[in-house]
Amino acid sequence: MSEKIKIAVLDDYQRVSGAFADWTVLCDHADITVFDKHEANEGLLAEQLFPFHVICVMRERTPMSRSLMSKLSNLKLIVSTGLRNASVDVQAAEELGIPVKNTGYVTSGAPELTWALLMAIARKIPQESGQVRSGLWQTTIGTDLKGKTIGIIGLGRIGTKIAGYALAFEMKVLAWSPNLTKEIAEAAGAVLVSKDMLFSSSDFITIHIVLSNKSRGMINKDDLSLMKPTAYIINTSRGPLIVEEDLIQILKQRKIRGAALDVFDMEPLPPEHPFRTMDNVLATPHIGFVTEDTYKVFYQDTVQAIQDWIKSR
């Protein structure tokens, strides 16, 4: 390739990729274009990305599907942030001769955000902060954590950290997932229970399951209907784990106290989506991994992966 390599950095919403890595090391070999706006229309996206040889994707923000990649005849390399990215069709990329490289990851961001959301809904921090700005004072009453029960769905790396946080706050910890064993639960300080028991007994429910064909929609209205009217549900894993319409109806009917959500079926969340305006929903824009330390790893590893690829050509 005698011409300069064209690199596209997608979905850099805050335009910070240049602040977290030194991209100038690529300038002798490449021209770099940063896109800060998400394009969901595949046809328009294909036109936009057609000239590029290297595409850098941020987690699941822009799916690299077979149909999209097949339209990008100039594409020679995909670099995806994170250890895995379910929205990149790796098999299709391999068949099309497009290597896919992944970056490292910082594991503390998602569990820390989960606990921040839990505490924010329990103590009604967003509401009270807003009331202070409006000139009011003490308009709500918070929920204690000590002595309450948290139900953790999925006791892997993140779920185990959440169990540790909960124990530090003197909470009772229940856990369930399809393949969870009593021994693993006990090692994390949790009690293994049935799915129905977890939903009916917990004051807070938090989800930490990997999204797959089996887990998609694993939480539905039957599960949500078992929850206490005073209970909260938190999802920082993936939106489609919960049947979205079922959750919306449960919240509209106020059958539970509220939800804290960082992930959604469609991202960015559409402007008119009910989650943006419901007073019993605390919504954040998928920021579990959006931290300074994580972005340093993401973008520095991305630059290194491109450098290694250039040297190997």
Q: In whole angstroms, give the CA distance from residue 212 to residue 73.
A: 29
Q: In whole angstroms, give the CA distance from residue 118 to residue 258.
A: 11
Same domain, 300 and 256: no
* Domain hosting residue 63, numbered range: 5-106+291-312
Q: Which of 53, 59, 208, 286 is catalytic?
A: 286
106-125 pLDDT, tens digit each: 999 999 999 999 999 999 99
The share of the chain scoring above pLDDT 70, in percent, equals 99
Same domain, 63 and 195: no
Domain count of the fold of the chain = 2
Six-digit token string for 28: 């002798």
For the whole model, what pTM was predicted? 0.94
Six-digit token string for 13: 């919403």
23-49 pLDDT, tens digit each: 999 999 999 999 999 999 999 999 999
142-176 pLDDT, tens digit each: 999 999 999 999 999 999 999 999 999 999 999 99
Average pLDDT in the chain: 96
Average the pLDDT over 279-288 and give the result: 97
Same domain, 272 and 152: yes
The domain that contains 45 carries what CATH number?
3.40.50.720
Six-digit token string for 165: 């946080």
**Active site includes 66?**
no
Same domain, 130 and 239: yes
Same domain, 156 and 304: no
In the predicted structure, residue 218 carries a pLDDT above the cut 70: yes
Same domain, 102 and 210: no
| Banded pLDDT at 60 (limits 50, 70, 90) | confident
Q: Phi, psi at residue 275, to the nearest 5°?
A: -60, -20
Q: Which of 39, 42, 112, 267 is catalytic?
A: 267
Contact 47, 68 (CB under 8 A): no
**Active site includes 286?**
yes
In the predicted structure, residue 1 carries a pLDDT above the cut 60: no
Mutual angle of helices 157-168 and 109-122, in 10-degree steps: 40
Q: In whole angstroms, give the CA distance from residue 247 to residue 94.
A: 38
Same domain, 86 and 177: no
Q: Which of 53, 238, 244, 257 is catalytic?
A: 238
Other CB atoms within a 10 A radius of the CB of residue 178 amount to 11
β strands within 44-120, DSSP E: 54-57, 77-80, 100-102
**Active site includes 267?**
yes
Check residue 170 and give its pLDDT.
98
Same domain, 221 and 308: no
Same domain, 146 and 175: yes
Same domain, 258 and 174: yes
| Banded pLDDT at 91 (limits 50, 70, 90) | very high
234-280 pLDDT, tens digit each: 999 999 999 999 999 999 999 999 999 999 999 999 999 999 999 99
Check residue 70 and give its pLDDT.
97
Same domain, 46 and 119: no
Three-class secondary structure of residue 310 per DSSP: helix
Check residue 3 and give its pLDDT.
83
Check residue 2 and give its pLDDT.
61
